[in-house]
Amino acid sequence: MMWDYGFGGWWMWLPGLLFGALVIGGIVVLVVLLVRSASGSGGSGQAGHSGGPPAAGGSQPDRARQILEERLARGEITPDEFRGLIATLEEGRGGGRPG
């Protein structure tokens, strides 16, 4: 037996579809936020922070220089390459720290 004479029920899938999309979107946003918080300050935070001098008079380590020192210690780069890369870093930062 048809209570609505065959009309009116065709649009009822819209709220369900919208609610499902909302739930899936919320889960995606939550996962993205969790991944960003687990990796530090997110992808753009690292790039924005490395451009300036370290805060609090150098209390934060210079991550780019630390990576180069690690690569030198592992033998991935030569001392000459290390000096050249450090000089390039300092030029890009406006010569903030002698290398």
Q: Kindly report the average pLDDT of the chain as a whole number.
A: 75
pLDDT of 86 over the 80 cut: yes
Most confident region among 21-30, 58-67, 84-93 by mean pLDDT: 21-30
Which of 58, 84, 88 lies closest to 72, judged by CA?
84
User: Looking at the domain assignment, is residue 24 inside a domain?
Assistant: no
For residue 87, give its domain range. 61-94
Q: What is the mean pLDDT of residues 77-89?
A: 91
User: Looking at the domain assignment, is residue 73 inside a domain?
Assistant: yes
How far from the centroid of its chain's Cα atoms is residue 92's Cα? 22
Residue count of the chain, please give it: 99
Return the higher-pLDDT residue of 38 and 99: 38
Distance between CA atoms of residues 40 and 62, nearest Å: 15
pLDDT at 50: 47
User: Looking at the domain assignment, is residue 78 inside a domain?
Assistant: yes
Count of structural domains, the chain: 1
Query: For the chain, how long is the longest CA-to-CA vector?
Result: 87
Distances (CA, A) of 67 to 31, 50, 76: 29, 13, 11
Q: Both tokens of residue 36? A: 């960003």
Amino acid at the residue 81 = E
pTM of the complete model beyond 0.85:
no
pLDDT of 6 over the 80 cut: no
The string of pLDDT tens digits covering residues 43-67 is 544 444 444 454 444 434 588 889 9
Q: Both tokens of residue 74? A: 């592992």
